[in-house]
């Protein structure tokens, strides 16, 4: 749980600092496409298409882990 909180804080910091205008820019992107668009834009900006592919794999593995843990 602590690791999940740390990851959330890292994502929040990256999202607020990545978009021009800080929270205002982040709000505009969120309104346009939701959280998925924010994640895609941050990953594409920082790591390129390889980052998006790695994130898709990591999210799938993490979702499977959480499902197993909840049973």
State the DSSP string of the chain. -HHHHHHHHHHHHHHHHHSTTTHHHHHHHHHHHHHHHHHHHHHHHHHTHHHHHHHHHHHHHHHHHHHHHH-
Write out the residue range of the structural domain in which residue 63 sits.
Answer: 1-70
- Domain count for the chain: 1
- pLDDT tens sequence across 11-62: 888 888 888 888 888 888 889 988 888 888 888 888 888 877 888 788 778 8
Q: Is the pLDDT score of 70 beyond 80?
A: no
Question: For position 31, what pLDDT does the model report?
Answer: 93
Q: Is the pLDDT score of 1 beyond 80?
A: no
How far apart CA 15 and CA 4 sit, in angstroms, is 16
Instruction: Read off the pTM.
Output: 0.61
């Amino acid at each position: 749980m602590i690791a999940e909180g740390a990851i959330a804080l890292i994502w929040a910091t990256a999202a607020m600092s990545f978009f021009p205008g800080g929270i205002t820019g982040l709000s505009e992107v969120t309104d346009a496409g939701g959280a998925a668009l924010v994640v895609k834009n941050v990953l594409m900006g920082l790591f390129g298409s390889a980052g998006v592919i790695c994130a898709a794999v990591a999210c799938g593995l993490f979702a499977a882990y959480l499902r197993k843990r909840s049973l």
